[in-house]
Copies of this chain bind each other. A is one copy, B any other.
Amino acid sequence: MPDHPQEGPTTHRLGADERRRQILDAALTLFAHHGYAGTTTKAIAREAGITEGLIYHYFGGKAELLVELAKQRSALLLEVRSLLRDEGDAPAARTMPRIARGWVELVRHQGDLVIMLVSEAHAHPEVGAAFAALLDEVRGGLQGYLDRRVAAGELRADLPTAVAAASFLSTLLMFFYTRAELDDAAWEVEARRFTTALLDVWLRGALAREDAP
């Protein structure tokens, strides 16, 4: 990959990639807070610190911003994959708390993206598909891990792993969605408390009997 060094006395000019990111970030923030249709190109330009016309130099139009952002879920997915891979086949009783924390922090960290995906899911098929694909991929990953723990005998053999995984993830997702406006400190406390209690219920429903052979 060749570098594209901006040589010369570039004062306030930015590289194309950097500028694109800046515009997308501005759009994402506003889409999450006011919705796609409720956000004007003027507001995006203002948030990004540029003028309206420049948006059209980098993108075909407002709609393209939405599509581009929906694709960003791949970035999110990469993080999730590494999260799940790191845990390998360690015991669920010790690993699930870490997965829970990782998922919660991920969703929180990518909060605007998640809010946008959920909010616009029904108005824009591409967004809905991206959201569904994201959830499904994560669910599939977690399910795979659970299946391995079933095979290892830690989790009970008749555990419906797909639904168990979906329940786990969607509960935490919904928790975030209804608490997104908490400040970081309050969020830390609430999230920890909620996650702990959820693991209590969930693990008991999934574990094999301790007194099994």
Contacts and interface: CB of A to CB of B under 8 A. Distances in A.
Interface string A123-139: 10000000110010000
Interface size class of A (residues with CB under 8 A): 35 or more
Contacts of A77: none
Q: Which of A118, A158, A159, A175 has the most CB of B within 10 A?
A: A118
A37 interface: yes
Contacts of A15: none
A163 B194 contact: yes
A177 B71 CA distance: 21
Nearest to A122: B115
Contacts of A123: 33-35, 38, 119
B174 A122 contact: no
A170 interface: yes
A32 interface: yes
A198 B165 CA distance: 10
Nearest to A118: B118
Interface in A187-207: 194, 197-198, 200-206
B211 A206 contact: no
A115 B121 CA distance: 10
Contact of A173 (B121, B174, B200, B206): B174
Given A35-B123, A118-B118, A164-B201, 16 more contacts: A32-B122, A33-B123, A35-B37, A35-B38, A36-B38, A37-B37, A119-B121, A119-B122, A119-B123, A121-B177, A131-B178, A158-B200, A160-B201, A167-B202, A200-B205, A205-B206
